[in-house]
Amino acid sequence: MRLFVAVVPPRPVREHLELALGSVRADAGGDQARGPLRWAPAEDRHVTLAFYGEVSAGAGEELEDGLARVAAARRPFELRLRGAGVFDRRVFWIGCGGDTAALGDLTAACVALGADVTGRTDDRVRSRSHLTVARVRAQSRRRRAGPERRGGPRRGAARHDDGPDDVTSLARALAVYEGPTWTVDEITLIRSRPGEGRAGGPAYDPVAGFGLAAADVAG
């Protein structure tokens, strides 16, 4: 099974973001089925802490035990979604504000656990925690890079090849976005099933949640 661990914002936080997206999305590939951007369903949006990839059932149990220990050793902290950006003109993301130091510490511990259990290193840069909102569809990237772009679009042709520009425009429009603050008091181990979700995206199944419990210890 393919696993990762994440912070899942509560529904009001995700709904607030969805309202902000709706205000800018209509003019930038808002048709989720046919537009150049593949939007992550609001209910699936999360802040990835560590990606573990394909693991055996036994390794999955070790990850659960380890994540329980990681969570129990840390206090809940406040976070909010804040700002926006683009990775490689392909991925539109919303950033994080609040106690980013606590988020960074939690991320590092989850990544280290994965290396210990699986023997593989998660080489993805985790210094900029974020929530992925949309990706440019592969066919849009290919059309964008194809020979037709060098000569300009054909007269009357639909502009479905403007995905990279669309995602950049969206990020600029939401660069000043700031969502409501919430308390991160749990992390979630999630199973990913590539290609089985909406519009060909991944489907996500929560496996287990682990509460941040250190605040319960009298100091």
Q: Catalytic residue numbers? A: 46, 130
| Phi then psi dihedrals of residue 81, to 5 deg | -85, 135
Structure tokens at 138: 């592969």
Residues facing 3 on adjacent strands: 53, 191
Start-end of H helices in the chain = 11-25, 57-72, 100-118, 138-145, 147-151, 163-173
- Three-class SS state of 49: strand
Please list, in sequence order, all residues whose beta carbon lies within 8 angstroms of the beta carbon of residue 14, skipping any fewer than 6 positions away: 42, 43, 45
**How many other CB atoms are found less than 10 A from the CB of residue 176?**
9
- Three-class SS state of 145: helix
Please list, in sequence order, all residues whose beta carbon lies within 8 angstroms of the beta carbon of residue 134, skipping any fewer than 6 positions away: 37, 38, 39, 40, 91, 92, 167, 170
Give dist(CA 68, CA 213) in Å, integer: 10
